[in-house]
Structure formats: C-alpha cells, structure tokens
Amino acid sequence: MKSHYRVVVIGGGVVGASVLYHLAKLGWSDVALVERSVLTAGSSWHAAGGIHALNADPNIAALQAYTIDLLSEIEEESGQNIGLHMTGGLTMAGTPDRWEWLQSAYRTFQSIGIEDCRLVSVEEAVALNPIMSGDGLLGGMWADREGYIDTTGTVHAYAGAAKKRGATVIENNRVLELNQTLQGWEVVTEKGTISCEHVVNAGGLWAKQVGRMAGVELPVAPLKHHYLISDTIPALEALDFEVPMTVDLEGFTYLRQDQKGVLLGIYEVNTEHWAMDGAPWDYGMELFQEDTDRIEHELTLGFERYPALQDVGVKTWVNGAFTFSPDGNPLVGPVPGKRGYWSACAVMAGFLQGGGVGKSLAEWMIHGEPEADVYGMDVARYGIWAENKQYIAQTTGQFYSRRFVMTYPNEQLPAGRPIKTTAAYTDMTNAGAKWGQSWDLEVPLYFAPQGFAETPSLKRSNAHDIVGAECRAVRDGVGLLDITAFSRFEVSGPNAESWLNHLMASKLPAPGRAKLAPMLGQDGRLKGDLTIFNWGDGTWWITGSYYLRQWHMRWFNDHMQDGVNLRDLGDEMGGLSLAGPKSREVLQAALSDGDLDALRFMGCAQMDVGLIRCKVGRLSVAGELGYELHCRAGDLKTLRDHLLAAGADHGMIEYGFNALLSLRLEKSFGIWSAEFTQGYTPGMTGMDRWIDWSKDFIGKDAAAAERDGAGPDKLLVTLEIDALDADASGYEPVWHEGRKVGFVTSGGYGHCLGKSLAMALVDRSSAAEGTALSVHVVGVERPATVIAASPYDPQGRVMRG
C-alpha cells in the first residue's frame, strides 16, 4: 500500500470495483480500492445476479444496456469467469393497465435504441418458460439480453481487469476516518494513512458511515430482501435449454434457473428496514433468518405462478440486506460542498447498473462531465430535507414495497409528504387545491370540488375537464398561480456581472429588465434554461426549476469567482403569478405603489402590492399577458388574499401546474427535464437563438463547432397528434413511413386549441412543417403532423400586449 493515490475508492463490492476499473480504463491508473474485509463481503456476494433491460427511466435503462454489453468484455480482459447465462428474459403483465403499460414501455425502449425486445403472447411466453402457468396473464415482453451472472466472479473480473491496467486493490483494511485537506483527503485506515485528491464512497451497506466520516448525511437505508433456491425440478431436467429470467409483475416475483432448480426472488409489500445508521462494521458474509410469515402472500403467488415448486423442497433461503435511496435510483456524483468527495451509493441493482455507474462517475471525475445524462441518479437531486430519518424510512419502504406495483403518471404517492408547504397551503387546500410535490415543496396541480378524487390512469384522467376549465379561464380572463416552486438565486458583488457573463450564454439584461438565458457545460450541452433579472441596484436574480436548486448551486459554486456573492433564496421567497388578458387590471387594482404602465414586457421592478413589497417581473410561462410577483415566504398568504380580493370583480380563478403545462405546450415553450436536458445542445432545442456569440462563455467553443459544422442531427418540433383518449407524455417513438426518426420529449392536451400536442426531437429530414409522421401513444400508433411552433398566438402579441 502506497501513502498516496490520486483516487481512493472505499468499498469492494461490484460498484466500487466497476469505478476502479473505469478510472483505470480511462487513464487514471494511480487509483486504489480499499475494502474493510474481502471483495464482495457486503451485498454483492448474496445478490441474485439477474440482469435485465427494463427500467422506468430511459437514461438508466441505457446505462443498464451498457453494463450488459460490458460483462463479456471484462470477462475476457480479466480472464475471470463471470458465469454469464444469457437466457433472455420475460416480463409478464396480468392486468389490462399493466399490459397497456408494458406495450408502452416496449415503444419507449425503441425510442432509446434498445431493439432486442418484442411483445409476446401468453402462449409464446409459456413455451419459452414451460414451468410458468399462464393463468391470469395477458401478455409479456421478451428481451434477448437478459439472464444472470455469478456475482462473486463478476466483482473479481472488474477488479482483475482494473489491476491489469495498473490499479491497486487493498483488502482487509477498514477505513477509520476521513479528513479533508487543502490538497484533497486523508484516508485513515487500519494499516496507515493514505493521502489522495479524490475519495469515492462505494460503501454499500456502510455508505452511511463513510458519508458521516466526511460530514455527509446520505439518504440511504438497507432493507431486507428474500429469495429462495429450490431443489431439482424434474420438468427442468427434461428441458434441453435454460428457462429465461422471468418477472411476474402482479406476483411480485422474479425467477431464474439455478442448475436444475430455480431461484425465486420476492419484492415483499410488507417491508423491513435494517441498520438504518449503517451495517455494523463486523457484519460480513452473513444472512438473516428467513421470515416466511412476512412474505406469505407473495410466496403463495409465486408458487401458483410456478406450480412445479409445490412438488419440490427449498434447498436454500437467502434473506440479505441491500441499500436503497428514496426513489430506488443510485446516488452518484460529486457531493455538493465537499470538493473531491464522490458518491457511488444506493446502487440497488449493482450487477445491472454497476457498469454504467462506474463509467459515468469515472468520466465525471476525469473529464468534468459524464457522457450520458445521469440526473436521475445524481446525488444532487436531494437536499438537506432528505437527511431526515423518518423521510428516508418512509420513502425507501414505499419504493421497495411498490417495486412491482403499477404506478401511474398522474398518481401522487404519500411517503415523505408533506415536508414544506407555503404560507397559503391551508387556505389553498380549503379552496380545493390538489397537491403534487417538487423536491421538498407541495405544489398545486389543479383546484377541484370538495370530495373529488383523481383516478390513476395511463390515459386522460377524470381531472381532464377540470384542468381544461382552468386553461380556458386563464386564456379568457385571469388566473392566479402559486409559483413558489421556482428557484431563485441572488447574485451580487463587484464581479457579479462579469461572472454571470461568463456563466450564461446569452446577453445579460439591462437594469430593470429580464432575459431568458441558456447555460452550457464545457461540452456545449445545456446546463440550464434560466431567466436572469437585473434589478438595477447591483443585484441580479437567476430563476429556474425549483427541484434543480442543489444541482445548479453545485454548478455555480464549481465555477465561482472572487468578488461574487451568491445566495439561494429558495427557502426565503415565495411567489404568485397573474396571467391572462385581465391580469393588468387585477394588478393595477391591487397596487399600492408602483408604475405598472412603465413595466414593459420582460421588465422588472420593485412594487408594493397592498401591504406586501414585491419584486415584479412582466412575463408569463402561460404565453399570456402576465406578471410574476415574488415576496417573502411568510408574506404569501397575505399577498394571495389581497390579489384574490382585487380579482373578484374580474372573475379571477386559481389554477395549478397541470393547466400551465397545457398552456405552455400551446406556445411550444420547452421545460427542463423534457425539451431541455444536459443531454441536448442549444442547436437541437432552439436555445441557440438566445446565445450572444460576441462574448466568451462556458461551452462557447463546443456550441460554435455545432453551429459552424453540419448542425445537430435532430431538431425540436411541435406535433399535432390524432389522439383518441390518451396523449403522449415523453419518450414515445416518432415514425416516418415506418422508419423511427425521433421521440417525444413531452406532450399533453391543448385544451384551448382542442388538440393533442407534443414536442419531439426528430431527424432534420423529418422536421419540416407539414411532414406526416406517427407516434405511439400508450402503445397505440397514431397519426401526427409537424406544425408551426407556438400554435397559439404564434407572433406573441398577446403576452406583449
């Protein structure tokens, strides 16, 4: 063991070994993995080892596909047998909604380039897995690249391949403490102290403690998970092939062959946490006693689905712990506020996702950005509120218990809610507000009559007409929306303007003005679709998506300059928006001080609205004449009351974000996580129209190369879809004469236009207005047409009026 390495990876499971391998593969060979016991002595040794393509997040699914492709490569490179059995896989549906969802998911896979899947009938599925009963099933999806591996062999293959590239593996050496230094970190171990520039927490069951060593409280918790291995099944002995990896979604089980028996795994609804403060340091290759009473229901369903199990015994029970995050996705990336400290934790499906996690983290460390858009597993998607132990217990338990439970796009889940509410929350609830969640904040979705309950659905729900009425009220009159769920950052100091000029690709607004501002990474891809306010007194605001607060703050701090003061106002400020042709009349009636006539479109100023001092901007995401009013968080209730009183004579209604999403689609206004992501470029998305090419800014060279070259392969367009009772939502494939040419970024119903609309990234050759295309909507192919952007008020006269 040397006294210095460039990187120290803590944890010898599949994730730590993958990170080590990818660092070495990308050229950083002065790296070491430190393991308290021996490789795999955590969750890795007892993992079921299944590999499959299905994931609800298309970006995660793509990383899983990368991992599957990598397995044979590391086996060959290391010389270590990984016991790869590529049996293919079945995912079965037993309810009409689930069958619709599976057909839709199949099309999503096509969108992201996973082509080795197909839908199968029950009869074909039973032929592929003859020990499965088809009773109650409606259909399934087959994937070629599914199966299982030897978990211990795979970890040693990653580690062996890394060592061949110069990396070091140090076993039986527990890390005792971490100390941050000016140069990086001191890793104090049982065998001495190692200095390094970077530390990677791949601690698995011990990730909590390794985080606390650095003053980091990670939202992770271990839960117990059962599987059994059966005795020999005669029906399997008679086959000349292995049965495929099979997931029975309604039965909460997965199955694969194990010699001439099977491994049957269970995602039990009645969950049990263990060691929420982290596993004991002396815990190793141990298991818990099986608890068949707790899993009786799921076990019964499993034995009914595979009747041959009823005639043989159980050879082995495995009840071991795995670490989960609140949403079940990994926690990966640079930890905000801890320079050189990286997370690679909560990778519940380590053998399926470990390759993609290792690749992305190594790229991030070496090149500054991962190749893929990995926000879905970025550690910065959680804030300090997620450190609460009850929140962690509720959300991880909810995810685990719903692992195979049908979740609908319009369904609001209860765990870990509510955390943060606005000062007007109770009054808005009494007014009929139905709530969703953005990061830690409750946000209004729509306002409904007392007693109304929305039915979860893959199609248009029973709230469809309620949302439509809100949209029309805004277009025809005036609506009030709580916009507390916008992020707000205050920038000041002598170098504030020069820093913003370097950070943002757009020209900065003049005093008393606001401007849309794309922000780019070094690679020229998007880092934000933001709005900059210049308040004219030396202070600026950056506003954007509330749930990106931690993510953006990390980016800002990583590029900070002297002479700049930056504050996140997200917990200090709230806001309300007025939108619609009567919004000026309402605000004029509510004003106690301020010149509304002087506030032109995209102007901003301080004004007094009743008793509340507000920062007011004249803009609207709804595409109407509108105003954003920002106030202290505690003033929101009083401001709302005052505006409602001022709007009473004008028929003003309150509306929610579901209506805003419809209104913005009618304007072809993109949003982050849909039209704009860190996987897309300004040229693809039309954000290049805001770039000021005369100045220097982060990402300029890469953006200019796109501009001056052949241009992007895909362009963002607006589609009108001949839909029936459902609308596109995102990642549906777009077809042109039978050829896949792109995918939907977001969609919904344009209530005021009476049309099903979507925005999509399509090949340049299919982007012309009037091009006839088709889109799969909830698995059904429907005609679509490229239409001109902003089908409502295309000249923008209404919002400038």
Rounded Cα distance between 187 and 162, Å, is 21
Q: Which of 626, 650, 674 is the last residue of a domain?
A: 650
Q: Which of 615, 650, 685 is the last residue of a domain?
A: 650
Backbone angles phi, psi at 179, to 5 degrees: -130, 125
For the residues of 55-68, what is the DSSP string, one character each? -SSHHHHHHHHHHH
Task: Give pLDDT, residue 54.
Answer: 66
Assess if residue 117 is contained within a domain.
Answer: yes
pLDDT tops 90 at residue 702: yes
Q: Show the domain range for 308.
A: 4-332+340-364
Judge whether 654 and 469 are in contact, CB under 8 Å.
no
Place 60 in a pLDDT band, splitting at 50, 70 and 90. Answer: confident
- Strands (DSSP E) along 569-656, which ranges? 573-579, 591-593, 604-609, 612-617, 626-632, 653-654
Assess if residue 758 is contained within a domain.
Answer: no
Task: Give pLDDT, residue 103.
Answer: 95
Rounded Cα distance between 681 and 659, Å, is 28
pLDDT tops 80 at residue 55: no
Assess if residue 702 is contained within a domain.
Answer: no
Q: What is the CATH number of the domain that holds 614?
A: 3.30.1360.120
Beta bridge mates, 740: 735
- What is the mean predicted confidence (pLDDT) over 211-237? 97
Task: Give pLDDT, residue 622.
Answer: 97
Instruction: Decide: residue 674, CB within 10 A, 0-12 exposed, 13-18 middle, 19+ buried.
Output: middle
Assess if residue 534 is contained within a domain.
Answer: yes
Rounded Cα distance between 309 and 660, Å, is 53
Place 300 in a pLDDT band, splitting at 50, 70 and 90. Answer: very high
Helix (H, G, I), strand (E, B) or coil at 322: strand
Quick one: 359 and 494 in the same domain? no
Quick one: 357 and 496 in the same domain? no
In three state form, how does the secondary structure of 512-533 look?
Answer: CEEEEEEEECCCCCEEEEEEEE
pLDDT digits (tens, 9 = 90+) for 649-687: 999 999 999 999 999 999 999 999 999 999 999 999 999
Assess if residue 771 is contained within a domain.
Answer: no
* CA distances to 373, 561, 601, 799 from 619, in Å: 30, 30, 6, 7
Beta bridge mates, 141: 91, 119
pLDDT tops 70 at residue 56: no
pLDDT digits (tens, 9 = 90+) for 140-179: 999 999 999 999 999 999 999 999 999 999 999 999 999 9
pLDDT tops 80 at residue 21: yes
Task: Give pLDDT, residue 175.
Answer: 98
pLDDT digits (tens, 9 = 90+) for 560-606: 999 999 999 999 999 999 999 999 999 999 999 999 999 999 999 99
pLDDT tops 70 at residue 371: yes
Task: Give pLDDT, residue 365.
Answer: 98
What is the percent of the chain with per-residue pLDDT over 70, rounded to a whole number? 100
pLDDT tops 70 at residue 704: yes
- What is the mean predicted confidence (pLDDT) over 340-366? 96
- What is the mean predicted confidence (pLDDT) over 534-552? 98
Mean pLDDT of the chain: 96
Task: Give pLDDT, residue 115.
Answer: 85
Q: Which of 601, 620, 650 is the last residue of a domain?
A: 650
pLDDT tops 70 at residue 240: yes
Assess if residue 160 is contained within a domain.
Answer: yes
Helix (H, G, I), strand (E, B) or coil at 24: helix
Quick one: 501 and 354 in the same domain? no
Quick one: 56 and 197 in the same domain? yes
Task: Give pLDDT, residue 327.
Answer: 95
Where is average pLDDT lowest: 51-60, 93-102, 332-341, 597-606? 51-60
pLDDT tops 90 at residue 62: no
pLDDT digits (tens, 9 = 90+) for 401-445: 999 999 899 999 999 999 999 999 999 999 999 999 999 999 999
Assess if residue 204 is contained within a domain.
Answer: yes
Could you tell me which of 154, 352, 130 has the C-alpha nearest to residue 244? 130
How many domains does the chain fold into?
2
The model's pTM? 0.96
pLDDT digits (tens, 9 = 90+) for 749-798: 999 999 999 999 999 999 999 999 999 999 999 999 999 999 999 999 99
Q: What is the CATH number of the domain that holds 113?
A: 3.50.50.60
pLDDT digits (tens, 9 = 90+) for 712-748: 999 999 999 999 999 999 999 999 999 999 999 999 9
Task: Give pLDDT, residue 745.
Answer: 97
Assess if residue 479 is contained within a domain.
Answer: no
111 vs 222, residue with greater confidence: 222
DSSP H or E segment with residue 436: strand 433-438
What is the percent of the chain with per-residue pLDDT over 90, rounded to a whole number? 96
User: How far is residue 374 CA from its own chain's centroid?
Assistant: 8
Beta bridge mates, 603: 513
242 vs 111, residue with greater confidence: 242
Place 646 in a pLDDT band, splitting at 50, 70 and 90. Answer: very high
Quick one: 349 and 491 in the same domain? no
* CA distances to 109, 352, 362, 477, 586 from 657, in Å: 28, 36, 38, 17, 21
- What is the mean predicted confidence (pLDDT) over 60-75? 90
Place 114 in a pLDDT band, splitting at 50, 70 and 90. Answer: confident
